[in-house]
């Protein structure tokens, strides 16, 4: 397992064994999904595109027999000391994205990529702003969008490809999922996502 870390995030490549990875892929692909409604969250705007999510959120302290190997793998890694963490699966079709946001209500969040392959021209990268001062222009400790200083000033940052079997632990930074390009065709950006509480 390869590890990269900076002030914004931690990246683990080849996080799971091939056997567990394929088992979790199957579990994720055979789960029930619903289309995320626009306006369901500040990140899902009218031009967000088609994103699907599992019909329920699972928690590490109550997995109910689903995704147990995933919960065990994260608990063994212990990347963020916490009481519990969640899991949902998200599937981004071509044209889908999530806008700039910060996960204020959690200690950190994560993305783990479950698709078989991902080519650079398909987009869908995780973008991270280098701006690190927390500003809440809405005054409600919520997500900040549209011309927010964290994105436009200084106006640079980093990107991380959604490589299969890559786990990214995202600290309290402004980030977004780049729009999945039409070049992806029928390939879906499939990921586990969750929050450390």
Q: What is the pLDDT of residues 31-49, one digit of tens each?
A: 999 998 876 566 666 678 9
- Tell me the C-alpha to C-alpha distance, in Å, between residue 61 and each of 44, 58, 118: 28, 9, 32
Distance CA 56, CA 191 (A): 15
Helix (H) or strand (E) holding 134: none
Q: If you search the block for the tokens 């632990």, which residue do you land on?
A: 169
Q: How many Å apart are CA 67 and CA 141, to the nearest integer? A: 31
Instruction: Enumerate the β-bridge partners of residue 174.
Output: none
Output DSSP code: residue 180: B
Q: Give the number of C-alpha atoms closer than 13 A to the C-alpha of residue 104, restricted to the C-beta side.
A: 15
pLDDT category at 4 given cuts 50, 70, 90 is very high
Strand partners, 129: 157
* Number of domains observed in the structure of the chain: 1
Cα gap 130→17, rounded to integer Å: 32
CB proximity list for 133: less than 8 A, separation 6 or greater: 150
- The per-residue pLDDT for range 59-115, each reduced to its tens digit, is 999 867 789 999 999 999 999 999 999 999 999 999 999 988 888 889 999 999 999
Domain membership of residue 188 as a residue range: 2-133+141-196
Q: What is the mean pLDDT of residues 112-125?
A: 98
Q: How far apart are CA 103 and CA 105, in angstroms?
A: 6
Q: How far apart are CA 20 and CA 24, in angstroms?
A: 6
What pLDDT does 9 receive?
95
Q: What are the Cα distances from residue 18, in Å, to 22, 23, 40, 168? A: 6, 9, 35, 18
Structure confidence at residue 137 as a pLDDT band (50, 70, 90) = very low
| Strand 58-59 to 108-113 pairing | unpaired
**Which CATH number is 150's domain given?**
2.60.120.620
């Amino acid at each position: 397992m390869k590890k990269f870390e900076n002030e914004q995030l931690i990246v683990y490549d080849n996080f799971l064994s091939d056997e567990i990875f394929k088992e979790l892929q199957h579990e994720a692909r055979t789960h029930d999904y619903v289309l995320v409604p626009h306006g369901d969250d500040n990140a899902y705007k009218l031009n967000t595109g088609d994103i699907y999510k599992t019909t329920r959120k699972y928690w590490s302290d109550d997995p109910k027999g689903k995704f147990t190997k995933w919960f065990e793998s994260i608990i063994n890694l212990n990347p963020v000391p916490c009481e519990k963490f969640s899991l949902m699966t998200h599937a981004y079709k071509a044209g889908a994205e999530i806008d700039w946001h910060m996960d204020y209500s959690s200690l950190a969040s994560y993305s783990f990529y479950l698709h078989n392959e991902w080519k650079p021209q398909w987009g869908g990268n995780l973008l991270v702003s280098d701006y690190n001062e927390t500003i809440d222009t809405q005054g409600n400790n919520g997500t900040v969008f549209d011309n927010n200083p964290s994105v436009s000033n200084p106006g640079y940052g980093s990107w991380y490809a959604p490589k299969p079997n890559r786990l990214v632990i995202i600290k309290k930074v402004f980030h977004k999922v780049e729009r999945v390009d039409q070049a992806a065709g029928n390939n879906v950006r499939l990921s586990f996502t969750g929050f450390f509480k």
